[in-house]
Structure 1
């Protein structure tokens, strides 16, 4: 079992005292109501949460739990297949080695290390070792080379940790992609290759690249050789947001914000040391990293990573209930589209008695899906509100609380919220609304992000007095629960993917026959929304809807953003000042989805 001790002497300088050890996070009391939240707030925040960094959280858990399993990786989706397990002590040792290797490569606390990885144990080293040495930058592997390079250039990434080998690419192709992107990012000093475990004879490494496992194996595993003292205000990670298909928009997360998210999730969800969660969220997404990973790691629970493809692996979905039985999973989490797929998988003779709590987020969950899941597995799957701008979680519906569809739970401790009327431009006004009346949702919270990396992106993120303007519309009921009713912004949310409609519109507008076009979300019971486009043609021009659909799909690089339908209109609905009036288009899309679109 790992124990705290002063850092021993090293070539980097004299020893320094290690941070004080604190017990891992554990529920203070059962939380079922807003009154329970207020009871937690009786303790000052600085006393309730002692750790200053995600590194300290993992260190605390390693001290307390030692050989207990922290992470389980499933190379195969077969329930009886061998798994790879890391204990809490092993995880901390490898986090030390990763941080030390990055430090040895010259990384400083303000430098970014990008990660281009599938689901794997090493992703946790990139996240937590990266944050201990500098700033972790998880990247969506589905993005185009140009988008990845743009994000890395915005962060001025110094190191890229990438998966794969030319002889074992499978369906990932990430090593080849990393080599292409590498030449587009001038600040990159080196690329570290994470070779899959089943590759016995990896191909030679190009110049400027190194083997990740070999590099970290040479480093001390019992300390940070940098002697870094991480402050809560230090930036831990950059997450891209604001539309995964739009222009780069990097949100800065402080260590303190991520630590608060872990603590709040432990308190409101009642996370226990014997909990086991199958985390199929991608680890470039806040849901998988913060509510889904560091929360469990801060409480001594076990996190199961279901194959490199995670929930995109059809075999994981097909075998999921057997995996729950095999690993005695206690927590079910997933976006509504994943839960809808699971709802169609027969439980058969799988023993699901270990399940005690379910949570979803990222997109609205249809009421019929919630009912079907409860009938299938015997527990309610609760809705929550999470956003990148609040380190992954904003509200939670705790175990034991019943709530109707659209209710995303209660506020976190030490968090403040307001509902305000919209101004004439659809933004947040300063007029607060009473309970039951819908308006824009505003937050102030200890896990509020540190703003976007580009200051220009912050202009509309906050109100003049510092509240986060979420763009979500909703109301607070008489039981102090938040209900969401829509969005003031135009983002299309498909299965948790934030799609910038402008990307679609710009692509279709390039067609020589198109005069005007606008993309909106059409309601869908499975995906929440599907992108559709309306267009008018230049007088005298000729084009078919199928032709335009093919044209735009070929020019939108991320699959979730490719529209499902293009509809040609005689005239485009416009406001009095000549702007396209999207509420009319959304109504058309809903009507077509219900009556004419199979």
Structure 2
């Protein structure tokens, strides 16, 4: 058994880069002797025992009694789970996949999986094809699967995956909420998880495994909403460092309580969101299986804070925008002391609006899968402007370099105040992708992680983000930062969320356009008014948007980030429609009979109006061919 150590605790408040450097005065091996996530759980169970580690809310109604697990009960379940996997023949080099909603059992799959093998959390909303590809790449032999279909079709999907994956030997079925009896007959190769783990010892790892810091703990997939997701390898040491660094910079304490609504297939929910909390004795509340995707959780959030005396609020900016529409009312939220956000830059207007509603200043952080979930944090007590994501982690290095001609990282380091690509080296840097071919663009030639994020370092040594290099709008060779446009439009009181992208143009390559959703109850406002409002606040002429488009719903990824590829596709379709309607008027065709569809990756399909003249078709084809996206034209069947 590994040596027991005290649980993590903050050394002293972090208020400056000098404080971060003060932490670094001790050798890292001395400051952080813990090697694995399993050790974290053993240390916390020894220190906190009967104290609540996890509270699960079956529904979002305030007053609903949670299901609670203590630190001792969590460790016992982790032992049982790891021992079950060991009995099933799983080795430390095998992968076990997880297809579950938010639930207590997810934490047995995560931490028991890491104690016995390599855990692979999966986004249940991905297609069967992508899930199969991910599990084949990981060579997963066991799958934890929810026994009901709910909103994501979990069980049906699990059975389809099993039929397509010969290497998948066993499915561990997790009983859905409210199930009173296990189905009489489970298919061959399917075990009832609760019954199977109950037969295992709960006081030790039967395997006797000694986990090293460099052993791989997890495979987390990046992206996957479009294109092929990649599998990032996390070592135990990287995950442990993330937990320790979060505790240090956030001043996390054993008497803290957090409501963790992040999905648990994503690093934010698993590592900064949960492992950090477990490492220092916090209580983590799991708000229903659907987490923040459950509208009732948002609707009742402030009353849930009051009920559970939550002290830490953590959510992505789109969730903060939704919470800013929920009046605090009579709810007592005075227990909240810290609000952390990340995943996307925060607009100044949203930051100010959320602070007016809640009384909490949002503290931004930067996290990414390739750095085990965290790279920089703005600590409590440090008030920073929107876009500032705080200080680097202790023992890490941060550089800003100029972009090369292809928009990648060059060798030219930039001084403080100048914007370029953000590069990192850190103890929680991932161990590379499972497919070595995916590593080529992840690192510079001298081993720095090329994040793709654009940012600059201010006079206090804090990182400030402006966006992603791939999101730059390039107009006639002029690089336009979309955040300049988004901050301008976001200042309008009627705007809930907004995002600027490049619309294809035959001459300039791209022209800036901005999509927006309106705040509930906002006074009526036209697109023309919003365009004028934005143009007044954007100084550079090339960056002034050509159009504002109001939409009902902002497309988002499954973790709440605004999904710009879909907006770029919508912008391409809008350009095609403008061209086609202008030619309809010129040729006397009926635009009402024309259909324009986006086929993905800005590929546009146009179905002509019935009886459209050949001259109209030829003119439209010539006009669309001048645009930098593929298109096809057909006549109605």
> TM-score range, shorter-chain basis?
0.7 to 0.9
> Secondary structure of 2:164's match?
coil
Corresponding position of 1:83? 66
Corresponding position of 1:349? 330
2-structure distance, mates of 1:520, 1:227: 59
Corresponding position of 2:597? 549
Corresponding position of 1:49? 32
Pick the aligned partner of 2:263 from 279, 282, 291.
282
User: Would you say 1:202 and 2:191 are equivalent positions?
Assistant: no
- Confirm or deny: 8 A CA contact 1:164 1:173 kept in the other structure: no
Please state how far the C-alpha of 1:179 moved relative to its aligned partner. Answer: 0.4
1-structure distance, mates of 2:623, 2:593: 13
> Residue 306 and residue 99 in structure 1: after superposition, are their counterparts in 2 closer, same or farther (change >3 A)?
same
TM-score (norm 1): 0.83
> Secondary structure of 2:171's match?
strand
Pick the aligned partner of 1:132 from 81, 93, 115.
115
> Secondary structure of 2:331's match?
coil
2-structure distance, mates of 1:287, 1:568: 46
Q: Which runs of 4+ in 1 moved over 3 A?
A: 490-493, 517-530, 535-553, 567-574
Corresponding position of 1:40? 23
TM-score (norm 2): 0.78
- Confirm or deny: 8 A CA contact 1:490 1:520 kept in the other structure: no
Deviations 1:118-177 (A, max 9, x none): 000000011100000000000001111111111111101010000024xxx333421111
> Residue 206 and residue 546 in structure 1: after superposition, are their counterparts in 2 closer, same or farther (change >3 A)?
farther
User: Would you say 1:28 and 2:18 are equivalent positions?
Assistant: no
User: Would you say 1:460 and 2:508 are equivalent positions?
Assistant: no
Please state how far the C-alpha of 1:82 moved relative to its aligned partner. Answer: 1.5
> Residue 461 and residue 552 in structure 1: after superposition, are their counterparts in 2 closer, same or farther (change >3 A)?
closer
Deviations 1:181-219 (A, max 9, x none): 111122101111001241113322111111011110000
1-structure distance, mates of 2:434, 2:170: 23
Gap regions ≥5 residues in structure 1: 1-17, 494-500, 506-516, 557-566, 582-598
How many residue pairs get matched?
527
Please state how far the C-alpha of 1:572 moved relative to its aligned partner. Answer: 7.0
Corresponding position of 2:293? 312
> Secondary structure of 2:355's match?
helix
Please state how far the C-alpha of 1:405 moved relative to its aligned partner. Answer: 1.1
2-structure distance, mates of 1:160, 1:544: 50
Corresponding position of 2:154? 174
> Residue 545 and residue 331 in structure 1: after superposition, are their counterparts in 2 closer, same or farther (change >3 A)?
farther
Corresponding position of 1:150? 133
2-structure distance, mates of 1:546, 1:491: 32
Compare 203-212 and 318-327 and name the one that shifted more. Answer: 203-212
- Confirm or deny: 8 A CA contact 2:98 2:144 kept in the other structure: yes
User: Would you say 1:68 and 2:19 are equivalent positions?
Assistant: no
Deviations 1:353-397 (A, max 9, x none): 100000001112221111112112212111111100000001000
Pick the aligned partner of 2:379 from 373, 377, 398.
398
1-structure distance, mates of 2:515, 2:137: 34
Please state how far the C-alpha of 1:443 moved relative to its aligned partner. Answer: 0.1
Say which structure, 1 or 2, has more relative contact order (CA 8 Å, 6+ apart).
Answer: 1
Gap regions ≥5 residues in structure 2: 474-481, 483-500, 518-553, 557-561, 605-619, 631-637
> Residue 491 and residue 240 in structure 1: after superposition, are their counterparts in 2 closer, same or farther (change >3 A)?
farther
Pick the aligned partner of 1:250 from 231, 237, 245.
231
Please state how far the C-alpha of 1:552 moved relative to its aligned partner. Answer: 5.1
Pick the aligned partner of 2:349 from 330, 347, 368.
368
Deviations 1:407-453 (A, max 9, x none): 11111100101011111221111111110011110000000000000
Please state how far the C-alpha of 1:551 moved relative to its aligned partner. Answer: 5.5
Corresponding position of 1:297? 278
Corresponding position of 1:559? none
User: Would you say 1:333 and 2:324 are equivalent positions?
Assistant: no
> Secondary structure of 1:76's match?
coil
> Residue 423 and residue 491 in structure 1: after superposition, are their counterparts in 2 closer, same or farther (change >3 A)?
closer
Deviations 1:53-81 (A, max 9, x none): 00000110000000000000000111111
- Confirm or deny: 8 A CA contact 1:545 1:568 kept in the other structure: no
1-structure distance, mates of 2:154, 2:202: 28
**What's the Cα RMSD here?**
3.0
User: Would you say 1:105 and 2:88 are equivalent positions?
Assistant: yes
2-structure distance, mates of 1:185, 1:406: 44
Within 5 Å, which residues of 2 pair with 1:356-505?
A: 356-490=337-471
1-structure distance, mates of 2:398, 2:120: 29
2-structure distance, mates of 1:131, 1:201: 29
1-structure distance, mates of 2:40, 2:139: 27
Please state how far the C-alpha of 1:571 moved relative to its aligned partner. Answer: 4.9
> Residue 85 and residue 33 in structure 1: after superposition, are their counterparts in 2 closer, same or farther (change >3 A)?
same
- Confirm or deny: 8 A CA contact 2:239 2:271 kept in the other structure: yes
2-structure distance, mates of 1:569, 1:170: 48
